[in-house]
Amino acid sequence: MSNPKYSIIVPVYNRPEELGELLQSLADQTLRNFEVIVVEDGSTLSSEEVANEFSDQLTISYFTKPNTGPGPSRNFGFEKAKGDYFVIFDSDCILPTTYFESVDNFLKQQLVDAWGGPDQGHEKFTPLQQAMAYTMSSFFTTGGIRGSKKGIGNFQPRSYNMGFSRQAYEKTKGFHFDRFAEDIELSIRMKKLGLRVALIPQAFVFHKRRATLSQFFRQVYNFGRGRVLVGKQHSGEVKWVHWFPFSFLLGLILIPVLLLINSKLGFFLLAGYIFYLLLIGLAALFSTKSAVVAFLSIPAAIVQLVGYGAGFFDEMTKFLR
């Protein structure tokens, strides 16, 4: 094809099966004016064969490099890109068939420098993955941390579903962090540079997340660490809402202590936690229409908040030393 409008950059690390699902969803797009650049980030489990399987369906390039993390890997892909817009997805995402049609229609109406889209679970994901997808985007957990969804310039895109113009890349020079909140840091710099950033609600992705709660814990632990690293780089970017997961963790620790020294206060705090978690479960039931997903959303929310809070506290103590 002639120079594509969109260049899709996908860093991948030991996830050939998930990459195959993403590439299939790209092959099924109703609008196909794009190229795909797969960057193998020092994997021990190669995705080259998977990428080659789609060479007849997609304009696809495959590159390998030593492991440096997702930020530098995406920057590597940007340097190879030919499109007017750079679009990045995590390898564990699946796109609805109208994703690029939605983006294209939006950009014809509003010319913005960058955009992001929501994420959600898919009916083919395991119930636990659907529960994790729900809690990660829920207002009742940390979903609101991404910023207001209304208006141009308030939304902070995330790297599982983010796009920006070539001009925006030239102004920002891409990602500055190797890993841990590299997308948040880039979003903040976009805003400081006065770039027009928008949410495109119709440009959502199905985000698989992790397969187990232990893997999910490690992921959100690093999210908590990353927020502190962003705060070191950009003054004022650690706000009260980012302290909420740590407060949740601290409250959990206090419950057994209070039950021993002040049972009335301990039961009051415990009742508050039970009410809060039931609220999450009921909201998940209303949103997902699945009793199993709603039930699993409760342990998923606990792991999410405890993991994020622990990572936040760990990095904050390093920062304050």
Q: Sort 173 into a burial class: Cβ within 10 Å, 0-12 / 13-18 / 19+.
A: exposed
Please say if the pLDDT value at position 220 is more than 50: yes
> Please, which residues bridge with residue 85 across strands?
6, 165
Question: For residue 114, what is the enclosing H or E element?
Answer: strand 114-116
How much is the pLDDT for 45?
92
Res. 218 pLDDT band, cuts 50 70 90: very high
Q: What is residue 158's DSSP assignment?
A: B
Q: Which residues contact 257 (CB under 8 A, 6 or more apart)?
A: 266
Residues 6+ apart with CB under 8 A from 135: 141, 280, 284, 297, 300, 301, 304
Greater model confidence, 281 or 124:
281
Give the least confident one: 30-34, 176-180, 276-280: 176-180
Q: Name the segment(s) of the chain with CATH classification 3.90.550.10.
A: 6-124+148-210
The pLDDT score that the predictor gives to residue 148 is 42
- If one compares 211 and 295, the residue with the highest pLDDT of the two is 295
Question: What pLDDT digit, counting tens, does each position of 69-81 carry?
Answer: 999 999 999 999 9
Q: Cα separation of 148 and 202, whole Å? A: 16
Q: Quick one: average pLDDT of 81-102? A: 95
Q: Please, what's the b/e burial string for 90-113 (b: 16 or more CB within 10 A of its CB; e: otherwise)?
A: bbbbbbbebbbbbbbebbeeeebb
What pTM value is reported for the model? 0.85
pLDDT for res 65: 95
Residues 139, 79: Cα–Cα separation, whole Å: 37
Expressed in angstroms, the distance from the first to the final Cα of the chain is 55
Q: For residue 198, is it left (φ>0), alpha (ψ between -120 and 50) or beta? A: beta
What CA dihedral angle connects 18, 14, 52 and 34, to 10 degrees?
Answer: 60
Q: Which helix (H) or strand (E) holds 177?
A: none
Percent of the chain scoring above 70 in pLDDT = 95
Q: Which two tokens stand for residue 6?
A: 């969109």
> Quick one: pLDDT band at residue 156, thresholds 50, 70, 90?
confident
CATH of 6-124+148-210, one of 1.10.645.10, 3.30.420.40, 3.90.550.10, 3.40.50.1970: 3.90.550.10
Q: String of b and e for 141-172 (b: at least 16 CB within 10 Å)?
A: bbeebbbeeeeeeebbbbbbbbbbbeebbeeb
pLDDT score at 311: 96
Structure tokens at 45: 């489990």
Q: Stretch 232-241: mean pLDDT, rounded?
A: 86
pLDDT band for 273, please (50, 70, 90 cuts). very high
